[in-house]
Amino acid sequence: MTDGVDFSRYKRIKISRRGRVLTLALSNPALMNAVDGEMHRELSSIFLDAADDRDSDIVILTGEGSAFSAGGDLNWMKRSFEAGDKGPDAAEAKRIVFSLLDLEKPIVAKVRGPAVGLGATIALMCDVIFASDNARFADPHVRAGIVAGDGGAIIWPQLVGYARAKEYLMTGDPVPAAEAERIGLVNHVVPDAELDARVDAFAAKLAGGAIQAVKYSKVSVNIGLKQLAHTILDTSIGYEMLTFTTEDHKEAVNAFLEKRKPAFTGR
């Protein structure tokens, strides 16, 4: 890699290139690209590095293998409240969202399989979203006993309206690919075998355009979304951090890992 951007330091995000297109692939394949502490830290800097990369004009964000991201690694969360390990960090969470929204280069999401929790948030905050017909989107923070604080409360209402967004955020129910396209959550759903080619063709179309005009059109549209994020994110992350301390969160994590139904008490 050139231009002083040390992409080699990333372990949970794989970087590749095709011409002026930079591909970032979330990589924790043993756990369907779940976000653990290492990936969370790397997500808080990768979009800043992508912005500084002089060899690219377009970014593709995807997941390694058959999943985009299964969301937060519950084993990581369990270690945080049982062993005192560092859990999800509020400052990192804000950097992830704002560095993604600040990235001037068009960013295209390529989603196959599950895009869950923070995985859904970063996919849905991309500029154009292509999904395989086997994709599904969900923000099930509430099922883990925590608030959808890391960006879901920002982006879901903008894409599908407040009523639908509140339904999905308060239940954590998944949205299959076809339904996601129907309600405007994503741009395009294509057969899985065609996904790579469709995304490559679209990225090449953007890269072959008047890139300054393309880039600053994206930046102009994102102004309102960034203003909204600045009004919401501190509060939503604050509520999320609060619910990380609840008994319901601990019960949800233990129940999931023990493959049983949680017994919530409201505490």
Indicate whether 110 pLDDT > 60: yes
Does 158 reside within a domain? yes
Q: What is the pLDDT of residues 168-182, one digit of tens each?
A: 999 999 999 999 999
- The answer to the question of residue 199 being in a domain is no
Angstrom distance (rounded) from CA 23 to CA 57? 11
Q: 137 lies in a domain?
A: yes
Q: What is the pLDDT of residue 80?
A: 81
Quick one: what percent of the chain has pLDDT higher than 90? Answer: 90
- Taking 60 as the threshold, does the pLDDT of residue 3 lie above it? no
**Segment holding 190, helix H or strand E:** strand 188-190
- Tens of pLDDT, residue by residue over 41-57, are 999 999 999 999 999 99
- Domain-embedded: residue 174: yes
DSSP sequence for 131-160: EETT-EEE--GGGGTS--TTTHHHHHHHHH
Question: Among 88, 29, 28, which residue's Cα sits nearest to residue 249?
Answer: 88
For residue 147, give both structure tokens: 């608030």
Number of separate domains in the chain? 1
Flag whether 266 is in a domain. no
- Identify the band that residue 2 occupies on the pLDDT scale cut at 50, 70 and 90: very low
CATH code for position 84: 3.90.226.10
Residue 32: predicted pLDDT: 97
pLDDT at 1 over 50: no
Whether residue 33 contacts residue 69, with contact meaning beta carbons closer than 8 Å, is answered with yes
Residue 123 has what DSSP assignment? H
Both tokens assigned to 4: 């002083």
Check residue 211 and give its pLDDT. Answer: 98
Q: Domain residues for 114?
A: 7-193+210-257
pTM of the entire predicted model:
0.94
Query: Is residue 225 a part of any domain in this protein?
Result: yes
